[in-house]
Amino acid sequence: MTRPSRTLTPAYFDAVYAADSDPWRFASSAYEKRKYDATLAALPKLRYVSALEIGCSIGVLTRRLASRCDKLLGVDASQTPLAQAKLRCADLASVRFEPMFVPQGWPEGVFDLILFSEVIYYLSAFDVARLASKCAQVLAPSGDIMLVHWTGETDYPLSGDEASELFINFANPIAKVVRQDRYESFRLDVLARR
């Protein structure tokens, strides 16, 4: 299998969501529920002041994460899933959404939690370096970064392991790994600001 070398564009995700409104079964699969349970259980703090979820998709994890955050911003490269996310979280005043293609675009503000759930492997190694640099600019002094990636074969620029290890290496000057868990089909890495 030949994987692309460049970051996948918003057009790729627009096409995926045009074909299926929940292409990865975020709302219905047992895998996603297990992954979300593990993600929330691994958060180092009970509560966060301001969180950023990159690649929020249709907002299933966003809704669960919101109970742990005073403010939560969900961003996604495709506007199509954001419409579903807004509906799913419409009753949550602390949650807002923006269309954004990272790392080219980046939100303003300071965040004490930045969550990447199955996102970084869509990027090239060059853009993973840019992503780590962007995180360094907005991560609060006591902030955490969480990476969650599927560890099976991909047809994306990176595998889950490659994506996680690259990000950890690029983020090393500002964040250290404080937790690493490996499950049957995904890995979870937590970094804390140095």
Residue 25: its pLDDT value, please? 94
The full set of domain ranges for the chain reads 10-193
Distances (CA, A) of 128 to 116, 177, 179: 12, 17, 20
How far is 20 from 134, CA to CA, in rounded Å? 31
- Cα angle at 78 between 65 and 154, to 5 degrees? 80
**Helices (H) and strands (E) in the chain — how many of each?**
6, 7
Class of domain 10-193: alpha beta
Residue 190: its pLDDT value, please? 98
Taking the chain (194 residues) in runs of 10, the rounded mean pLDDT of each run is: 89 95 95 97 98 98 98 97 98 98 96 98 98 97 97 95 98 98 97 97
Q: Which residues contact 68 (CB under 8 A, 6 or more apart)?
A: 40, 43, 45, 46, 47, 48, 51
Instruction: Classify 99 as helix, strand or coil.
Output: strand
Hey, what amino acid is at 49? V
CA-derived radius of gyration, the chain: 15
